[in-house]
Amino acid sequence: MEWTDEGIILGARPYGENHAVAEVFTPSAGRVVALVHGGQGRLKQPLVQSGNGVVVTWKGRSEESLGHFSIELTMPRAAALMHDSLALVGLSSMTTLLSMCMPERQSVPRLYDATKIILDLLEEKTIWPIAMTKWELGLLSSLGFGLRLDVCAATGAKLEDGADLVFVSPKSGGAVSHTAGMPYRDKLLPLAPFLTGRGEPTKQDIMAAFSLTAFFIEDRILAPANKELPDVRKRLVERLGRL
Protein backbone atom coordinates (compact mmCIF):
# COMPACT_ATOMS: atom_id res chain seq x y z
CA MET A 1 0.00 0.00 0.00
CA GLU A 2 1.13 3.55 -0.64
CA TRP A 3 -0.14 7.09 -0.23
CA THR A 4 1.27 10.63 -0.37
CA ASP A 5 0.07 13.65 1.63
CA GLU A 6 1.30 16.86 3.17
CA GLY A 7 1.96 16.82 6.89
CA ILE A 8 3.44 18.29 10.06
CA ILE A 9 6.19 16.50 11.95
CA LEU A 10 5.11 15.88 15.56
CA GLY A 11 8.34 14.25 16.66
CA ALA A 12 10.79 11.44 16.06
CA ARG A 13 12.63 8.93 18.22
CA PRO A 14 15.75 6.86 17.47
CA TYR A 15 15.31 3.39 16.06
CA GLY A 16 18.37 1.18 15.81
CA GLU A 17 21.74 2.73 15.04
CA ASN A 18 20.77 5.14 12.30
CA HIS A 19 17.00 5.06 11.71
CA ALA A 20 14.11 6.92 13.36
CA VAL A 21 10.43 6.42 13.99
CA ALA A 22 8.60 9.62 13.08
CA GLU A 23 5.11 10.85 13.91
CA VAL A 24 3.43 12.92 11.23
CA PHE A 25 0.06 14.68 11.36
CA THR A 26 -1.62 14.66 7.94
CA PRO A 27 -5.02 16.02 6.86
CA SER A 28 -6.20 12.75 5.33
CA ALA A 29 -4.68 10.06 7.55
CA GLY A 30 -4.44 11.91 10.86
CA ARG A 31 -1.53 11.01 13.14
CA VAL A 32 0.66 8.38 11.52
CA VAL A 33 3.77 6.70 12.93
CA ALA A 34 6.31 5.15 10.55
CA LEU A 35 9.97 4.35 10.08
CA VAL A 36 12.35 6.79 8.44
CA HIS A 37 15.41 5.02 7.08
CA GLY A 38 18.50 7.00 8.01
CA GLY A 39 16.39 9.29 10.17
CA GLN A 40 19.25 9.87 12.63
CA GLY A 41 21.69 10.71 9.86
CA ARG A 42 23.10 14.08 8.92
CA LEU A 43 20.85 14.51 5.90
CA LYS A 44 17.52 13.32 7.27
CA GLN A 45 17.61 14.30 10.94
CA PRO A 46 16.89 17.99 10.12
CA LEU A 47 13.78 16.88 8.22
CA VAL A 48 12.11 15.22 11.21
CA GLN A 49 12.24 18.17 13.62
CA SER A 50 8.93 18.90 15.35
CA GLY A 51 6.75 21.44 13.58
CA ASN A 52 8.33 21.08 10.16
CA GLY A 53 6.00 21.09 7.19
CA VAL A 54 6.60 18.13 4.89
CA VAL A 55 5.28 16.00 2.08
CA VAL A 56 5.36 12.35 3.06
CA THR A 57 4.94 9.17 1.10
CA TRP A 58 3.96 6.20 3.27
CA LYS A 59 4.51 2.64 2.11
CA GLY A 60 3.53 -0.52 3.98
CA ARG A 61 2.19 -4.01 3.55
CA SER A 62 -1.16 -3.11 5.10
CA GLU A 63 -2.86 -0.19 6.86
CA GLU A 64 -2.02 -1.78 10.21
CA SER A 65 1.70 -2.21 9.52
CA LEU A 66 4.34 0.26 10.73
CA GLY A 67 5.41 1.12 7.21
CA HIS A 68 8.01 3.69 6.32
CA PHE A 69 8.08 7.33 5.24
CA SER A 70 9.86 9.09 2.46
CA ILE A 71 10.00 12.77 3.46
CA GLU A 72 10.36 16.02 1.53
CA LEU A 73 10.77 19.21 3.58
CA THR A 74 8.47 22.07 2.59
CA MET A 75 8.46 24.37 5.65
CA PRO A 76 11.48 24.32 8.03
CA ARG A 77 9.61 25.85 10.95
CA ALA A 78 11.93 24.54 13.66
CA ALA A 79 14.99 26.19 12.10
CA ALA A 80 13.10 29.44 11.44
CA LEU A 81 12.24 29.78 15.15
CA MET A 82 15.67 28.99 16.59
CA HIS A 83 16.08 32.65 17.55
CA ASP A 84 12.85 32.69 19.62
CA SER A 85 12.92 30.31 22.58
CA LEU A 86 9.35 31.11 23.67
CA ALA A 87 7.96 30.38 20.21
CA LEU A 88 9.87 27.09 20.19
CA VAL A 89 8.23 26.16 23.49
CA GLY A 90 4.85 27.02 21.95
CA LEU A 91 5.61 24.85 18.94
CA SER A 92 6.72 21.98 21.14
CA SER A 93 3.61 22.29 23.31
CA MET A 94 1.34 21.99 20.27
CA THR A 95 3.13 19.04 18.70
CA THR A 96 3.39 17.24 22.05
CA LEU A 97 -0.31 17.69 22.78
CA LEU A 98 -1.20 16.37 19.34
CA SER A 99 1.08 13.38 19.83
CA MET A 100 -0.39 12.60 23.26
CA CYS A 101 -4.05 13.33 22.58
CA MET A 102 -4.78 12.17 19.05
CA PRO A 103 -5.50 8.53 18.29
CA GLU A 104 -3.60 7.08 15.37
CA ARG A 105 -5.04 7.35 11.88
CA GLN A 106 -8.08 9.47 12.70
CA SER A 107 -8.60 12.12 10.05
CA VAL A 108 -9.34 15.58 11.48
CA PRO A 109 -8.69 17.97 8.57
CA ARG A 110 -10.10 21.06 10.29
CA LEU A 111 -7.73 20.57 13.22
CA TYR A 112 -4.88 20.05 10.77
CA ASP A 113 -5.68 23.32 9.00
CA ALA A 114 -5.92 25.17 12.31
CA THR A 115 -2.60 23.71 13.43
CA LYS A 116 -0.87 24.96 10.29
CA ILE A 117 -2.28 28.44 10.82
CA ILE A 118 -1.09 28.67 14.44
CA LEU A 119 2.36 27.26 13.66
CA ASP A 120 2.74 29.89 10.96
CA LEU A 121 1.77 32.62 13.46
CA LEU A 122 4.53 31.79 15.93
CA GLU A 123 6.68 34.68 14.76
CA GLU A 124 3.84 37.09 15.63
CA LYS A 125 4.58 37.47 19.34
CA THR A 126 1.49 39.49 20.24
CA ILE A 127 -0.93 37.18 18.45
CA TRP A 128 0.00 33.54 18.83
CA PRO A 129 -0.65 33.05 22.59
CA ILE A 130 -4.22 34.26 22.08
CA ALA A 131 -4.67 32.10 19.01
CA MET A 132 -3.20 29.07 20.77
CA THR A 133 -5.85 29.12 23.50
CA LYS A 134 -8.51 28.90 20.79
CA TRP A 135 -6.53 26.14 19.07
CA GLU A 136 -6.62 24.14 22.30
CA LEU A 137 -10.40 24.59 22.42
CA GLY A 138 -10.43 23.28 18.86
CA LEU A 139 -8.35 20.29 19.87
CA LEU A 140 -10.95 19.40 22.50
CA SER A 141 -13.79 19.84 20.03
CA SER A 142 -12.09 17.79 17.31
CA LEU A 143 -11.72 14.86 19.68
CA GLY A 144 -15.34 15.00 20.83
CA PHE A 145 -14.93 17.04 24.02
CA GLY A 146 -16.00 20.50 22.87
CA LEU A 147 -17.05 23.05 25.47
CA ARG A 148 -20.45 24.78 25.23
CA LEU A 149 -19.56 28.40 25.86
CA ASP A 150 -22.52 30.16 24.25
CA VAL A 151 -25.34 29.20 26.64
CA CYS A 152 -25.69 28.98 30.41
CA ALA A 153 -25.69 25.35 31.51
CA ALA A 154 -27.82 26.23 34.55
CA THR A 155 -30.50 28.51 33.09
CA GLY A 156 -30.36 28.10 29.31
CA ALA A 157 -29.76 31.83 28.82
CA LYS A 158 -27.85 32.46 25.59
CA LEU A 159 -24.85 34.64 24.92
CA GLU A 160 -26.57 36.09 21.84
CA ASP A 161 -29.39 37.30 24.08
CA GLY A 162 -27.02 39.08 26.44
CA ALA A 163 -26.34 36.37 29.02
CA ASP A 164 -23.37 37.34 31.22
CA LEU A 165 -21.43 34.09 30.90
CA VAL A 166 -18.41 34.29 33.20
CA PHE A 167 -17.84 30.74 34.47
CA VAL A 168 -17.48 27.22 33.09
CA SER A 169 -18.72 24.10 34.86
CA PRO A 170 -15.90 21.55 35.29
CA LYS A 171 -18.48 18.77 35.17
CA SER A 172 -20.49 19.66 32.07
CA GLY A 173 -18.02 21.85 30.18
CA GLY A 174 -20.81 24.38 29.76
CA ALA A 175 -20.75 28.09 30.46
CA VAL A 176 -22.51 29.47 33.55
CA SER A 177 -23.87 32.98 33.97
CA HIS A 178 -22.77 35.37 36.70
CA THR A 179 -26.07 35.18 38.54
CA ALA A 180 -26.35 31.40 38.43
CA GLY A 181 -22.69 30.80 39.18
CA MET A 182 -21.87 33.19 42.00
CA PRO A 183 -23.13 30.90 44.80
CA TYR A 184 -20.82 28.16 43.44
CA ARG A 185 -17.96 30.31 42.13
CA ASP A 186 -15.31 28.43 44.13
CA LYS A 187 -16.21 25.25 42.26
CA LEU A 188 -16.35 26.81 38.79
CA LEU A 189 -13.67 27.80 36.27
CA PRO A 190 -13.38 31.38 34.98
CA LEU A 191 -14.41 32.02 31.38
CA ALA A 192 -12.20 34.58 29.65
CA PRO A 193 -14.51 36.95 27.71
CA PHE A 194 -12.42 36.90 24.51
CA LEU A 195 -13.10 33.18 24.08
CA THR A 196 -16.69 34.10 23.28
CA GLY A 197 -15.82 37.15 21.19
CA ARG A 198 -16.25 39.75 23.92
CA GLY A 199 -13.52 42.35 24.04
CA GLU A 200 -9.76 42.35 23.73
CA PRO A 201 -7.91 39.88 25.97
CA THR A 202 -5.78 41.03 28.87
CA LYS A 203 -2.83 39.02 30.12
CA GLN A 204 -5.04 37.75 32.95
CA ASP A 205 -7.64 36.62 30.40
CA ILE A 206 -5.05 34.71 28.38
CA MET A 207 -3.75 32.93 31.47
CA ALA A 208 -7.32 32.08 32.51
CA ALA A 209 -8.00 30.66 29.04
CA PHE A 210 -4.90 28.45 29.21
CA SER A 211 -5.99 27.22 32.64
CA LEU A 212 -9.44 26.40 31.30
CA THR A 213 -8.18 24.39 28.33
CA ALA A 214 -5.52 22.66 30.45
CA PHE A 215 -8.17 21.44 32.88
CA PHE A 216 -10.34 19.85 30.20
CA ILE A 217 -7.47 18.44 28.13
CA GLU A 218 -6.14 16.70 31.20
CA ASP A 219 -9.53 15.70 32.64
CA ARG A 220 -11.24 14.50 29.44
CA ILE A 221 -8.36 13.20 27.30
CA LEU A 222 -5.15 12.57 29.22
CA ALA A 223 -6.26 11.30 32.64
CA PRO A 224 -8.46 8.50 31.24
CA ALA A 225 -5.35 7.28 29.38
CA ASN A 226 -3.22 7.53 32.55
CA LYS A 227 -1.32 10.52 31.16
CA GLU A 228 -0.60 13.95 32.59
CA LEU A 229 -0.40 17.37 31.00
CA PRO A 230 3.06 17.47 29.41
CA ASP A 231 5.82 19.46 31.09
CA VAL A 232 6.37 21.56 27.98
CA ARG A 233 2.74 22.79 28.15
CA LYS A 234 3.23 23.75 31.80
CA ARG A 235 6.51 25.46 30.94
CA LEU A 236 4.80 27.46 28.18
CA VAL A 237 2.28 28.95 30.58
CA GLU A 238 4.99 29.67 33.17
CA ARG A 239 7.02 31.52 30.54
CA LEU A 240 4.01 33.51 29.33
CA GLY A 241 3.15 34.39 32.93
CA ARG A 242 6.57 36.00 33.41
CA LEU A 243 6.23 38.34 30.42
* CATH number of the CATH domain containing 135: 1.20.1440.120
Residues 185 and 70 in one domain: no
Is 77's pLDDT higher than 80?
yes
Q: What is the pLDDT of residues 8-44, one digit of tens each?
A: 999 999 998 899 999 999 999 999 999 999 999 999 9
pLDDT value at residue 64: 77
pLDDT value at residue 63: 77
Q: How confident is the model at residue 100 (pLDDT cuts 50, 70, 90)?
A: very high
pLDDT value at residue 31: 97
What lies within 8 Å, CB to CB, of 193 at 6+ separation is 166, 199, 201, 205
Contact call for residues 138 and 114 (beta carbons, < 8 A): yes
| Alpha-carbon distances of 188 from 63, 82, 170, rounded to whole Å | 44, 39, 6
Distance of alpha carbon 235 from alpha carbon 225, whole angstroms: 22
pLDDT value at residue 61: 87
Residues 114 and 231 in one domain: yes
Domain enclosing residue 17, as ranges: 2-80
**13 in a structural domain:** yes
**56 in a structural domain:** yes
- How much is the CA Rg of the chain, to the nearest whole Å? 20
Q: What is the pLDDT of residues 177-197, one digit of tens each?
A: 999 999 999 999 999 999 999
Of 115, 31, 95, nearest to 236 by C-alpha is 95
What lies within 8 Å, CB to CB, of 17 at 6+ separation is 40
What lies within 8 Å, CB to CB, of 224 at 6+ separation is none
Write down the mean pLDDT value for the chain.
96
